[in-house]
């Protein structure tokens, strides 16, 4: 079964440094999501793409976070500069299309530790 690929699996960085995460969704999935999950809590949506366009980035801290999906396929989430509070799991998910109750398929995430 096709999977959502994320890399790296783990990342340790010092505060004030830049860090980037990569996601390759399931082939043909038009909708891509980035979620952040703090330990002990449920995932929180950061940004949603429909093809290459941002549909929802209302919860993305835009002063330090950026996301792109230039060709409407894979995506990169960047943090610059990283802060201690950014330590979390960053999850990518994709679905065939927006809405219509298409299930989301999640990758296994990138665990970020900021020291």
Structure tokens at 102: 């298409």
> By CB under 8 A, is residue 5 in contact with other proteins?
no
Site for other proteins in 37-76 (CB under 8 A): 40-45, 48, 50, 55-56
Q: How far apart are CA 26 and CA 87, in angstroms?
A: 26
CB 4 within 8 A of CB 23: yes
Which is it for strands 75-79 and 19-24: parallel, antiparallel or unpaired?
antiparallel
CB of 57 to other proteins, least distance (A): 11
The residue whose two tokens read 């999977």 is 3
* Token pair of 105 as six digits: 């398929």
Using the contact rule CB under 8 A, the part of the chain among 12-20, 60-68, 71-79, 98-106 near other proteins is: 98-106
- Which residue in the set 13, 30, 76, 106 belongs to the binding site for other proteins (CB under 8 A)? 106
Q: Which residues bind other proteins (CB under 8 A)?
A: 4, 33, 35, 40-45, 48, 50, 55-56, 91, 93, 98-101, 103-109
């Amino acid at each position: 079964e096709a999977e959502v690929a994320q890399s790296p699996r783990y990342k340790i960085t010092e505060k004030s440094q830049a860090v980037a995460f990569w996601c390759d969704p399931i082939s043909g999935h038009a909708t891509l999501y980035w979620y952040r999950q703090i330990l002990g809590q449920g995932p929180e949506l950061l940004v949603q793409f429909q093809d290459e366009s941002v549909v929802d980035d209302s919860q993305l801290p835009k002063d330090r976070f950026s996301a792109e999906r230039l060709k409407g396929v894979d995506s990169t989430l960047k943090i610059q500069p990283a802060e201690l509070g950014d330590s979390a799991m960053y999850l990518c998910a994709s679905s065939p299309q927006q809405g219509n109750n298409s299930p989301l398929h999640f990758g296994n995430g990138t665990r970020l530790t900021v020291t």
